[in-house]
Structures are given as structure tokens and as C-alpha cells.
Structure 1
Amino acid sequence: MDLVEQLRAFGLSLPGAHRKSPWPDHDDLAVKDKTFAYLPGKGKPFSLSCKLPYTGYEALQLPFAEPTGYGLGKSGWVSFSPPADHIPSFNQLKEWVEESYRAQAPRKLVKELDARDDG
């Protein structure tokens, strides 16, 4: 399983998460129809866009990070397009996806995730 598929599987394990494909070449992650991670389609180079209200400033210091286009950057979205030899660790990617999920998910589902983490 490649990195994007692993990340997608992690995202889909979050309460209420589902796939969303609003455009060709996208297979994104959403909760209650609100996207929380933009992922590339099969065969495309690695990229990731997440809403990072807490770690966004820090993440933007990375050379392959930039505010997400279409005005999303103003709302705390960060896009990562690292070269293949500079892709962050899987744990770091999971942290960004989870932070974005928590920013987009209804409070009830975040509480469900917290309860699962505490268990």
C-alpha cells in the first residue's frame, strides 16, 4: 500500500469520515461532507492540503509548504508538495490530517475520537 493509500486509510478510520471526489484526479477525505484533507488521485505526485489552525504557521516554514489556493490559505489551509525524497514522516502526515479533521468535524465526532484515544 503506498503512502497516499495509507494516509487515506488512516483518515477513513476517523469517526464519520468518508471519501469525497469533487474534481477529477481527487480522492479527498471529508467528514459530514466537509473536506478535511485534499489528496492526489492515483498515480499523481504526493501532495496534501489540510486545515491547520494550530500548527499552520510552523508548517508553512517548510520549503515545500504554502497557503492553499482558492482563498483557503486565509482560513488556515496549508498545501504540501514535497519532492519524493523530502516527504515528511507518516506520523507527521497523520498529525496534520487529524488536526484538520478536528478543525472540520462536528464537536460530537471529535469527542468520539477523544474517547477512542483515551481508551
Structure 2
Amino acid sequence: MLAQDIHAEVLEFALRFPEAYGEPGWGGTIVKVRKKMFVYLNADDGDDPVAYNVKLADPDAHAHALSLPRAARMGALGQYGWVYVPFGAHTPVDLLCEWVEDSYRAIAPKKLVAELG
């Protein structure tokens, strides 16, 4: 699967959550819930690969994300569990979507998380 296709699928998945919305920012799309970012997807600008950033509170998920090729802590937010994960043919979309859900659950108000079941 091409990185742009992964980008589109992950963005569509992220926007399905209660009160989730996207807005442009930092050369990509920031997906928020009640004004709080839970995923950032960048577009391929030639310098950086198509990638996303998510907050992973679970230590195992965080370690797994960092084990992927070219993955890294997200700048200053890395100390709070944010991870940068580039997309590539090696990246399973279902796993990326699972991490988007984990990030949503970590950021969204408890009332909205309860709606997920």
C-alpha cells in the first residue's frame, strides 16, 4: 500500500471518533477532540516522509512504535508519550489505526471515551 493511501485511510479512521475534527497545521492535518490534538498526519513535502504522530500511554505500544524503521519520539512532546511514525509498505494500517484509537482514548474526555464502549 502506498504511503498516501495509508495517510488517507488513517485520517478517515481518526475522524470517525466522537467530536473528532481535522484542521490544517504544520504542513499536514491535525486531528483534534475538543481542541486537543490526538493525531497529527503530515503530507509528503519532499523532505519528510508521510507520517503521523500519536500519543501512546501504554508502554508496550510505545516501545513497539519506536521499534519501527525511522520512528522516533516526537520532539519536545516525546517525553509525554508522543511518537513519530513514518508510513511505508512495512507499516500495517490496522496497527496504525489501533494506535490512533489509543491516542484518542488518552486525550479525549472520559465521557467521549465511554461512548466507544
Shorter chain as denominator, the TM-score bin is 0.7 to 0.9
Superposed structure 1 runs of 4+ greater than 4 Å apart: none
Within the alignment, does 1:52 sit opposite 2:56 as a pair? yes
Deviations 1:58-113 (CA, angstroms, capped at 9, x unpaired): 321223211101x100000010124x332x11101100100001111000000011
Q: 1:14 aligns with which of 14, 17, 20?
A: 17
Structure 2 CA distance, aligned partners of 1:91 and 1:98? Answer: 11
Structure 1 CA distance, aligned partners of 2:29 and 2:9? Answer: 13
Structure 2 CA distance, aligned partners of 1:91 and 1:2? Answer: 13
**TM-score, normalization by structure 1:** 0.83
Within the alignment, does 1:28 sit opposite 2:30 as a pair? yes
Q: 1:62 aligns with which of 52, 65, 68?
A: 68
- List gaps (5 residues or longer) in structure 2: none
Structure 2 CA distance, aligned partners of 1:65 and 1:80? Answer: 5
CA-CA distance at 1:9 after TM superposition: 0.9
What is the aligned length? 109
Deviations 1:9-61 (CA, angstroms, capped at 9, x unpaired): 111001110012233x22121111111111013x5432011000101123212
Give the % identical residues. 39
Q: 1:108 aligns with which of 104, 107, 111?
A: 111
Residue identity matched to 1:52: L
Structure 2 CA distance, aligned partners of 1:22 and 1:62? Answer: 25
Alignment RMSD:
1.6
- List gaps (5 residues or longer) in structure 1: 115-119
**TM-score, normalization by structure 2:** 0.84
Residue identity matched to 2:92: S
Q: Normalized per residue, which structure has more strand?
A: 2
2:42 paired residue number? 40
